[in-house]
Amino acid sequence: MRPLMTTVSRLLCSVLLVATAVMAFPKVADADESSDERPLLEEPRSRQGYWIGVGVSGIGTQVWEKGHDRGLYGGFTGTFRIGELLTQRFGLGLLVEYTAGKTTLGKGTDKGQLDGLTLEASYLVWRDLSVHGGLGVGVLLLKDDAALDPSYRVGGGAYFMVGASYDIFPLQKKVTTGGWALTPVVDLHGFGDGDLRFVALVAGVQITWWSGLPDNMLHLPEE
């Protein structure tokens, strides 16, 4: 158990360091540019600037334990996303998944939880539809109270994710920069290290806030 938690802690620190460095890079690049150089202006769009999203998803998880197929586990998970568009289409951010309890994922009497932290990249492919993928760390805990040994079984390690989402802006009657969105999300997750391995399909809805861009970065119509 101790070696696993040490490995997870090291991977977690690495992900956070990489995320901080990449998120800070655009600010450093902007500071190095000449002050008399006019910035490229963008047309106002809903998906601009930073994003923050929270949501709830259903989860179906195929689990293998020590090479044996344990079947499909069902449950739900919470999600928290934060990031920034670095270009008009490409973004980078963090995804936190938490099951918020040791009984939110299970099959029969065998229950547990699944948590993960992922550095994710996204790309806008059409209108407000984006695809995303990432790597991070994940931990799967399972416990069967009806078993002869009811102690926790733990799996953890490198964690992958691919998926897609679509931002719907129901409150906007005209195109403006930023705003509130309702975001259906479908993700595929998994890791293949340790005694417990899994592949999970996660589908749900997020409430997402987009910060938008300041006026000096936008091409606005003259009044």
Question: How does pLDDT run across 17-34, given as a tens digit for each residue?
Answer: 444 454 444 444 444 444
Q: How crowded is the C-beta side of 108, counted as CA atoms within 13 Å?
A: 8
Domain range list for the chain = 2-17+48-214
User: 23 or 210: whose pLDDT is higher?
Assistant: 210
For tokens 């963008």, what's the residue?
A: 42
Average pLDDT, the chain: 82
Classify each residue of 154-186 as buried b or exposed e, where b means 16 or more C-beta atoms within 10 Å of its C-beta: bbbbebbbebbbebebeeeeeeebbbebebebe
CATH fold of 2-17+48-214 reads Porin (2.40.160)
Secondary structure of 166-217 in HEC code, one letter for each residue: ECECCCCCCCCCCEEEEEEEEEEEEECCCCEEEEEEEEEEEEEEECCCCHHH
What pLDDT score was predicted for residue 206? 97
